[in-house]
Amino acid sequence: MKKLFYPWVMILFITASACSQSTNDADEAALIQPKLGNSFQGPIQKPASGYGADGNYEVAEIDFSNPQYTGTQVSIFYPKGITSPRPTIFFSHPFGGEDKEYNIELYNFIAKKGYVVVFVPYRTIDISVDHRYQTLWEGFIKAAADYPNIIDTQKVGFMGHSFGGGASIDLAYKAFTEKGWGQNGRFLFTMAPWYSFNWNSTLTTQQQLQSFPSNTKMITQVYDEDDVNDHRMAIDIFKNINISNAEKDFVYIKSSTVNGIQLCHRPRNAKFPKSI
Protein backbone atom coordinates (compact mmCIF):
# COMPACT_ATOMS: atom_id res chain seq x y z
CA MET A 1 0.00 0.00 0.00
CA LYS A 2 1.33 3.43 -0.89
CA LYS A 3 2.01 5.68 2.07
CA LEU A 4 -0.66 8.12 3.08
CA PHE A 5 0.14 11.06 5.34
CA TYR A 6 0.62 9.70 8.86
CA PRO A 7 -2.16 10.72 11.23
CA TRP A 8 -0.09 10.57 14.40
CA VAL A 9 1.78 13.75 13.48
CA MET A 10 -1.35 15.60 14.62
CA ILE A 11 -1.58 13.96 18.04
CA LEU A 12 -0.14 16.87 20.04
CA PHE A 13 -2.32 19.38 18.25
CA ILE A 14 -5.51 17.41 18.77
CA THR A 15 -4.68 16.67 22.39
CA ALA A 16 -4.43 20.37 23.09
CA SER A 17 -7.70 21.18 21.37
CA ALA A 18 -10.05 18.24 22.07
CA CYS A 19 -12.26 18.15 25.14
CA SER A 20 -14.71 15.40 26.05
CA GLN A 21 -17.88 17.44 26.04
CA SER A 22 -21.20 15.82 25.32
CA THR A 23 -24.49 15.11 26.91
CA ASN A 24 -27.89 13.50 26.97
CA ASP A 25 -30.25 16.47 26.99
CA ALA A 26 -30.83 19.70 25.13
CA ASP A 27 -30.00 22.06 27.99
CA GLU A 28 -26.58 20.55 28.51
CA ALA A 29 -25.93 20.27 24.78
CA ALA A 30 -26.11 24.06 24.58
CA LEU A 31 -23.23 24.28 27.07
CA ILE A 32 -20.89 22.25 24.90
CA GLN A 33 -20.05 24.86 22.32
CA PRO A 34 -16.89 26.79 23.22
CA LYS A 35 -16.68 30.54 22.99
CA LEU A 36 -16.07 30.98 19.30
CA GLY A 37 -13.20 33.00 17.92
CA ASN A 38 -10.87 32.42 20.86
CA SER A 39 -7.53 30.76 20.13
CA PHE A 40 -6.23 28.23 22.61
CA GLN A 41 -3.67 29.69 25.00
CA GLY A 42 -1.28 28.21 27.52
CA PRO A 43 2.33 27.75 28.59
CA ILE A 44 3.31 25.66 25.55
CA GLN A 45 3.82 27.77 22.46
CA LYS A 46 2.66 26.70 19.03
CA PRO A 47 5.55 25.15 17.05
CA ALA A 48 7.22 27.64 14.73
CA SER A 49 8.83 24.99 12.52
CA GLY A 50 8.48 21.32 11.64
CA TYR A 51 5.22 19.43 11.17
CA GLY A 52 3.55 21.03 14.18
CA ALA A 53 3.80 24.44 12.53
CA ASP A 54 1.19 25.70 10.08
CA GLY A 55 1.55 24.65 6.46
CA ASN A 56 2.00 27.00 3.52
CA TYR A 57 -1.52 26.87 2.11
CA GLU A 58 -4.36 29.28 2.66
CA VAL A 59 -7.63 27.58 3.60
CA ALA A 60 -10.70 27.62 1.36
CA GLU A 61 -14.12 26.36 2.36
CA ILE A 62 -17.18 25.01 0.58
CA ASP A 63 -20.53 24.56 2.33
CA PHE A 64 -23.64 22.80 1.08
CA SER A 65 -26.96 21.73 2.59
CA ASN A 66 -26.80 18.68 4.83
CA PRO A 67 -28.89 15.92 3.16
CA GLN A 68 -30.11 14.47 6.47
CA TYR A 69 -30.11 17.43 8.87
CA THR A 70 -32.28 20.33 7.72
CA GLY A 71 -30.92 23.78 8.47
CA THR A 72 -27.28 22.70 8.76
CA GLN A 73 -24.45 22.52 6.27
CA VAL A 74 -21.71 20.10 5.37
CA SER A 75 -18.33 21.84 5.22
CA ILE A 76 -15.27 21.01 3.14
CA PHE A 77 -11.99 22.62 4.16
CA TYR A 78 -9.26 22.41 1.55
CA PRO A 79 -6.01 24.07 0.41
CA LYS A 80 -6.78 27.15 -1.66
CA GLY A 81 -5.58 27.02 -5.25
CA ILE A 82 -5.13 23.26 -5.63
CA THR A 83 -5.44 21.90 -9.17
CA SER A 84 -5.95 18.22 -8.36
CA PRO A 85 -7.78 16.22 -5.66
CA ARG A 86 -6.00 15.77 -2.34
CA PRO A 87 -5.96 13.09 0.38
CA THR A 88 -9.05 13.60 2.53
CA ILE A 89 -10.07 13.12 6.15
CA PHE A 90 -13.74 12.46 6.91
CA PHE A 91 -14.32 13.79 10.42
CA SER A 92 -17.09 12.65 12.81
CA HIS A 93 -17.62 15.08 15.67
CA PRO A 94 -18.35 14.24 19.33
CA PHE A 95 -21.85 14.08 20.76
CA GLY A 96 -23.15 17.65 20.74
CA GLY A 97 -20.21 19.19 18.86
CA GLU A 98 -22.17 19.91 15.70
CA ASP A 99 -20.93 23.47 15.22
CA LYS A 100 -17.91 23.44 12.91
CA GLU A 101 -16.27 26.03 15.15
CA TYR A 102 -15.92 23.31 17.81
CA ASN A 103 -12.79 22.01 16.04
CA ILE A 104 -12.14 24.78 13.50
CA GLU A 105 -8.47 25.09 14.48
CA LEU A 106 -7.97 21.42 13.64
CA TYR A 107 -9.66 21.63 10.24
CA ASN A 108 -7.65 24.72 9.30
CA PHE A 109 -4.41 23.11 10.45
CA ILE A 110 -4.98 20.05 8.26
CA ALA A 111 -5.98 22.10 5.21
CA LYS A 112 -2.94 24.36 5.58
CA LYS A 113 -0.82 21.21 5.31
CA GLY A 114 -2.29 20.41 1.90
CA TYR A 115 -5.07 17.98 2.84
CA VAL A 116 -8.87 18.10 2.78
CA VAL A 117 -11.32 17.74 5.69
CA VAL A 118 -15.04 16.96 5.38
CA PHE A 119 -17.19 17.89 8.38
CA VAL A 120 -20.81 16.71 8.67
CA PRO A 121 -22.97 17.79 11.63
CA TYR A 122 -25.46 15.24 12.94
CA ARG A 123 -28.41 15.79 15.23
CA THR A 124 -27.61 15.11 18.88
CA ILE A 125 -30.93 14.65 20.64
CA ASP A 126 -34.31 13.07 19.88
CA ILE A 127 -32.87 10.96 17.09
CA SER A 128 -31.63 7.37 16.77
CA VAL A 129 -28.04 6.19 16.58
CA ASP A 130 -28.85 4.79 13.12
CA HIS A 131 -29.92 8.21 11.88
CA ARG A 132 -26.75 9.85 13.21
CA TYR A 133 -24.68 7.31 11.30
CA GLN A 134 -26.83 7.81 8.20
CA THR A 135 -26.40 11.59 8.44
CA LEU A 136 -22.62 11.29 8.55
CA TRP A 137 -22.56 8.72 5.75
CA GLU A 138 -24.76 10.61 3.31
CA GLY A 139 -22.89 13.84 3.95
CA PHE A 140 -19.54 12.17 3.26
CA ILE A 141 -20.82 10.45 0.13
CA LYS A 142 -22.35 13.63 -1.30
CA ALA A 143 -19.17 15.61 -0.65
CA ALA A 144 -17.05 13.02 -2.47
CA ALA A 145 -19.51 12.73 -5.37
CA ASP A 146 -20.01 16.47 -5.89
CA TYR A 147 -16.38 17.59 -5.47
CA PRO A 148 -14.12 15.00 -7.12
CA ASN A 149 -11.73 17.79 -8.13
CA ILE A 150 -11.01 18.39 -4.43
CA ILE A 151 -11.50 15.02 -2.70
CA ASP A 152 -9.25 12.07 -3.55
CA THR A 153 -11.19 9.00 -2.41
CA GLN A 154 -8.20 6.79 -3.15
CA LYS A 155 -6.31 8.29 -0.20
CA VAL A 156 -8.58 8.74 2.80
CA GLY A 157 -8.72 8.76 6.57
CA PHE A 158 -11.66 8.47 8.93
CA MET A 159 -11.24 10.41 12.12
CA GLY A 160 -13.62 10.92 15.05
CA HIS A 161 -13.94 11.87 18.68
CA SER A 162 -16.16 10.23 21.32
CA PHE A 163 -19.46 9.22 19.63
CA GLY A 164 -17.82 10.14 16.34
CA GLY A 165 -14.82 7.97 17.17
CA GLY A 166 -17.02 4.90 17.44
CA ALA A 167 -18.93 5.87 14.31
CA SER A 168 -15.71 6.22 12.32
CA ILE A 169 -15.09 2.46 12.55
CA ASP A 170 -18.36 1.54 10.84
CA LEU A 171 -18.26 4.39 8.30
CA ALA A 172 -14.69 3.59 7.31
CA TYR A 173 -15.58 -0.09 6.88
CA LYS A 174 -18.42 0.80 4.53
CA ALA A 175 -16.29 3.24 2.55
CA PHE A 176 -13.43 0.77 2.18
CA THR A 177 -15.47 -2.36 1.39
CA GLU A 178 -18.56 -0.98 -0.40
CA LYS A 179 -17.16 2.10 -2.14
CA GLY A 180 -13.57 0.99 -2.69
CA TRP A 181 -12.15 4.11 -1.08
CA GLY A 182 -8.58 4.17 0.14
CA GLN A 183 -7.02 1.93 -2.50
CA ASN A 184 -3.79 3.98 -2.34
CA GLY A 185 -3.83 4.69 1.39
CA ARG A 186 -6.29 4.51 4.30
CA PHE A 187 -6.24 5.14 8.03
CA LEU A 188 -8.37 5.39 11.17
CA PHE A 189 -7.79 7.87 13.99
CA THR A 190 -10.24 7.43 16.88
CA MET A 191 -10.14 9.65 19.96
CA ALA A 192 -11.84 8.42 23.16
CA PRO A 193 -14.25 6.34 21.04
CA TRP A 194 -17.71 5.43 22.28
CA TYR A 195 -19.33 2.15 21.17
CA SER A 196 -19.05 1.26 17.50
CA PHE A 197 -22.31 0.12 15.92
CA ASN A 198 -22.67 -1.65 12.58
CA TRP A 199 -25.34 0.49 10.98
CA ASN A 200 -27.40 -0.94 8.11
CA SER A 201 -25.44 -4.20 8.04
CA THR A 202 -26.12 -7.91 8.45
CA LEU A 203 -22.79 -8.30 10.25
CA THR A 204 -22.33 -8.13 13.99
CA THR A 205 -19.83 -5.58 15.28
CA GLN A 206 -17.39 -8.41 16.02
CA GLN A 207 -17.72 -9.81 12.48
CA GLN A 208 -17.18 -6.36 11.04
CA LEU A 209 -14.04 -5.81 13.11
CA GLN A 210 -12.66 -9.22 12.21
CA SER A 211 -13.17 -8.62 8.49
CA PHE A 212 -11.82 -5.05 8.51
CA PRO A 213 -9.38 -4.37 5.64
CA SER A 214 -5.97 -5.25 7.04
CA ASN A 215 -4.12 -2.68 4.92
CA THR A 216 -5.40 0.12 7.16
CA LYS A 217 -3.22 2.12 9.51
CA MET A 218 -4.77 2.98 12.87
CA ILE A 219 -4.25 5.26 15.86
CA THR A 220 -6.44 4.95 18.95
CA GLN A 221 -6.11 7.74 21.49
CA VAL A 222 -7.59 7.85 25.02
CA TYR A 223 -7.32 10.43 27.79
CA ASP A 224 -6.29 10.18 31.43
CA GLU A 225 -9.09 12.39 32.76
CA ASP A 226 -11.91 10.84 30.72
CA ASP A 227 -14.12 9.10 33.27
CA VAL A 228 -17.18 8.62 31.03
CA ASN A 229 -15.98 7.03 27.80
CA ASP A 230 -14.60 3.88 29.37
CA HIS A 231 -11.18 3.07 27.93
CA ARG A 232 -12.22 -0.56 27.61
CA MET A 233 -14.41 0.41 24.64
CA ALA A 234 -11.34 1.66 22.79
CA ILE A 235 -9.27 -1.31 23.94
CA ASP A 236 -11.88 -3.79 22.73
CA ILE A 237 -12.00 -2.25 19.26
CA PHE A 238 -8.22 -2.01 19.11
CA LYS A 239 -7.66 -5.65 20.07
CA ASN A 240 -10.36 -7.14 17.83
CA ILE A 241 -9.97 -5.13 14.64
CA ASN A 242 -8.26 -6.98 11.78
CA ILE A 243 -5.20 -4.71 11.67
CA SER A 244 -1.79 -6.03 12.64
CA ASN A 245 0.10 -4.58 15.59
CA ALA A 246 2.71 -3.28 13.17
CA GLU A 247 0.08 -1.03 11.57
CA LYS A 248 -1.65 0.35 14.68
CA ASP A 249 -0.80 2.19 17.89
CA PHE A 250 -2.68 2.83 21.13
CA VAL A 251 -1.88 6.20 22.71
CA TYR A 252 -2.71 7.08 26.33
CA ILE A 253 -2.58 10.84 26.96
CA LYS A 254 -1.78 11.73 30.56
CA SER A 255 -2.72 14.97 32.23
CA SER A 256 -0.13 17.50 33.31
CA THR A 257 0.19 20.92 34.89
CA VAL A 258 2.65 23.44 33.45
CA ASN A 259 3.17 26.82 35.10
CA GLY A 260 -0.07 26.39 36.99
CA ILE A 261 -2.13 25.65 33.86
CA GLN A 262 -3.80 22.26 33.66
CA LEU A 263 -3.39 20.37 30.38
CA CYS A 264 -5.90 17.57 30.13
CA HIS A 265 -8.82 16.11 28.23
CA ARG A 266 -11.44 17.74 30.47
CA PRO A 267 -10.20 20.07 33.23
CA ARG A 268 -11.22 19.20 36.77
CA ASN A 269 -14.32 21.10 37.91
CA ALA A 270 -14.90 22.36 34.37
CA LYS A 271 -18.43 23.55 33.63
CA PHE A 272 -18.85 21.09 30.80
CA PRO A 273 -21.28 18.17 30.77
CA LYS A 274 -19.78 14.71 30.80
CA SER A 275 -19.69 12.94 27.54
CA ILE A 276 -20.67 10.11 25.34
Q: How far apart are CA 73 and CA 104, in angstroms?
A: 14
Do the domain assignments include residue 33?
Answer: no
CA angle 135, 136, 141 (to 5 degrees): 100
Number of domains into which the chain is organized: 1
Instruction: List 38's β-bridge partners, or say none.
Output: none
pLDDT at 11 exceeding the cut of 70: no
In a domain, 32, yes or no: no
What is the reported pTM? Answer: 0.84
Q: Does any domain span residue 227?
A: yes
Q: Does residue 15 fall inside a structural domain? A: no
Residue 189 lies in a domain: yes
Q: Is residue 274 part of a domain?
A: no
When the pLDDT of each residue in the chain is averaged and rounded to a whole number, the result is 85
Question: pLDDT tens digits, residue range 57-106?
Answer: 999 999 999 999 999 999 999 999 999 999 999 999 999 999 999 899 99
What is the CATH number for 233?
3.40.50.1820
Residue 250 domain-assigned (yes or no): yes
- DSSP of 192-223, one letter per residue? S--PPP-TT-SS-HHHHHHTS-TT-EEEEEEE
pLDDT, residue 39, reads 57
Helix (H, G, I), strand (E, B) or coil at 106: helix
What is the span of the domain harbouring residue 147? 58-263
